[in-house]
Amino acid sequence: MSKEPATVATETAMDALQKLEKAEKASREAAMLLQQTFASLNEAVFIVQSGTRVIVDANSAVETMFGYAHHEIVGKLTSCLHLNEQMFTRFGSEMIKGYQEKGYYETIYQMIRKDGTVFESEHCVTPIRDISGTITSHVCVVRDISERVHAERALVEKSRLLRELNDSLEARIEQAVEELRKKDDVLASQNRLLVDLAPEAIIVFDVELDRIVDANAKAEQLFGCSREILLMSTPRQFYMQKQPDGRPPETSFFENSDRAIAGEVLVIERAIRSAAGTEVVCEVRLVRLPSPQSLLIRASFFDITERMQTQKKLTRALASEHRLNEEQRQFMGLVSHELRTPLSIIDGSAQLLALAACKDKECLAHANRILSSTQRLSTLIDTCLTEERLCTSGWTPNIVSEDIRCLTRNVVAQAQAGTERHLIKCDPEELPDRYDCDPMLLQVLLNNLLDNAVKYSPKGGEINVRGWRADNGDVCFEVTDQGIGIAADQLEKAFDRFYRIWQIPGIAGAGLGLHIVKRIAELHGGTASCSSVQGCGSTFTVRLCNPRNS
């Protein structure tokens, strides 16, 4: 059954009403949402009337950004937000142009707040049109970008400063490089001068090219050819087959080059024959030259031919002197030995003569003179024989442990018995109980020093003998007298063989006593020395090394 037309119309109207209500509700909700969104934006949003450019609405962010409350800004011209009229006008015309080109307008602009402060802002303006397409208003979204702009500006400033710094650094580096180049040039020319004026022949040898790459004038002289020819040669060409080290030059040449390249400074001797045939012996100093690209060796040649000849002569002279000395020593030994027998016969006979002629005063005096002369002669022979024995090469002392305090006292007592004019004091208490030495030799050493102290103190006086152990365990003896003394320039010579300083009548000697003292000290690994004041006395000091230290 069909419905009444009126009923149908009513139902349709009711439906339409319900739909309208729904639509209104939806529209209200949408408007609220828009309002909320509008209010919650960080960007300032203005709705501006087209043509008049009067602000018709603004969100709450406007107050934070521009300082105007909503009621203060709504109804005002946007010119209040611009720096001046001119900028306000320019914004408007650029906005129209933007609409025409892209349909919206985007720009970065300086704006002014209510309190007069200026800030950078980013703008996006979109037109709102009616159904006919006519622009009725504009939605302008403004973002405060002053912080970003500041940061960008700071960045730009920083990069400008960096560029400047970079530019100035580059300029300074260039200047420094230029100065270094100049200095290098000066150094190079100084070096050149030094090399050219050097007293020795200098060449620079390139190991890889196997040829000389530089040479000074002295090298031209030494090798007997021009620089041009030298620069095409290798030093090997001038090395003679027979070299001072006895090795074939080809082998040693490469070995020495390798060692020099490895950083060693080599000093070798090379026999050289120049292009002109002159033969010389040179001391060659090899040193690697700093060079990044090549392996260079600087070789300097000193002509030592003369030095070698002198050295040879000297060696020959020394050998001959040594031989002569040896012969002399042997002869002295032989003579001394041969003299002993006749001397003991003379001595024995003189003693018998003295006994037989005890009543004949004149005869007795002669016999006594013979006896004292044979005594002197016998001492001299003993000294010569001792010296010969001590200086024979290969002779070694007989080292045993000895009570050296007792030995010292005995030697002193014996010496005191031989003189009335001297008082010999002995202080051996600081000596060790026992010491490893050759007792016979130590006795001879002390005897000689005491004999001299007595002999060279003709007016008598005190003689002091002291012995002690040094900190390192060595043993030292000191004999001091108040005699004639020794001049400073003679102190060392006094220990030389056969050297006698004072040729005083009545003081006999052969110049061997101190030589023997020194030799005995040396045989014990020690030394002998003397200090003296002329006219006041002398002190002789002997040091014997502790055999356990040596």
**Which residues of this protein are in contact with ligand ADP, per CB under 6 A?**
452-453, 456, 481, 483-486, 494, 499-502, 509-515, 538
Using alpha carbons only, give the angle 48, 49, 52 rounded to the nearest 5 degrees: 115
How far apart are the C-alpha atoms of 255 and 250, rounded to whole Å? 9
Task: Give 391 or 501: the residue with its C-beta nearer to ligand ADP.
Answer: 501
Give CA 316 to chain center in angstroms.
Answer: 43
Residue number, 127 or 483, with CB nearest to ligand ADP: 483
**Is 270 exposed, middle or buried, given 0-12, 13-18 or 19+ CB atoms closer than 10 A?**
buried
Q: Would you tell me the crossing angle of helices 439-455 and 513-523 to the nearest 10 degrees?
A: 150
Q: What is Dmax (Cα atoms) for the chain?
A: 210
What minimum distance in Å lies between the beta carbon of 508 and ligand ADP? 7
Which tokens go with 89?
């006008």
Please identify, using beta-carbon distances, which residue of 88 and 499 lies nearer to ligand ADP.
Answer: 499
- Least distance to ligand ADP from the beta carbon of 510, Å? 5
Distance CA 478, CA 539 (A): 7
Cβ 419 to ligand ADP shortest distance, Å: 13
Shortest spacing between CB 500 and ligand ADP, in angstroms:
4
CB 206 within 8 Å of CB 189: no
Choose between 98 and 485: whose C-beta lies nearer to ligand ADP: 485
Query: Closer CB to ligand ADP, residue 285 or residue 500?
Result: 500
Burial of 78 (0-12, 13-18, 19+ CB in 10 A): buried
Q: How far is the CB of 371 from ligand ADP (least distance, A)?
A: 21
Shortest Cβ 464–ligand ADP spacing (Å): 12
C-beta of 494: minimal distance to ligand ADP in Å? 4
- List the Cα angle 488/519/412 in 5-degree steps: 80
**Residue 204 beta carbon to ligand ADP: minimum distance, rounded to whole angstroms:** 59
Query: Residue 239: what are its φ and ψ, rounded to 5°?
Result: -85, 130
Contact predicate 56/47, CB 8 Å: yes
Tell me the C-alpha to C-alpha distance, in Å, between residue 153 and each of 79, 106, 117. 27, 21, 18
Compute the least distance from the CB of residue 346 to ligand ADP, in Å: 22
Spatial CB neighbours of 425, under 8 Å, sequence gap ≥ 6: 462, 463, 464, 465
Q: Which residue has the tokens 């611009």?
A: 82
Q: What angle do CA 544, 322, 314 make, to 5 degrees?
A: 110
* Rounded least distance, CB 303 to ligand ADP, Å: 45
Does residue 342 contact residue 355 with C-beta atoms inside 8 Å? no
Q: Toward ligand ADP, which CB reaches closer, 59 or 538?
A: 538
Question: Looking at beta carbons only, is 146 or 447 nearer to ligand ADP?
Answer: 447
Considering the complex, state which of residue 259 and residue 497 has its C-beta at the smaller distance from ligand ADP.
497
> In the complex with ligand ADP, which residue's Cβ is closer, 509 or 526?
509
Instruction: Give CA–CA dist 221/198, Å, rounded.
Output: 13
Nearest to ligand ADP of 335, 352 (CB atom): 335
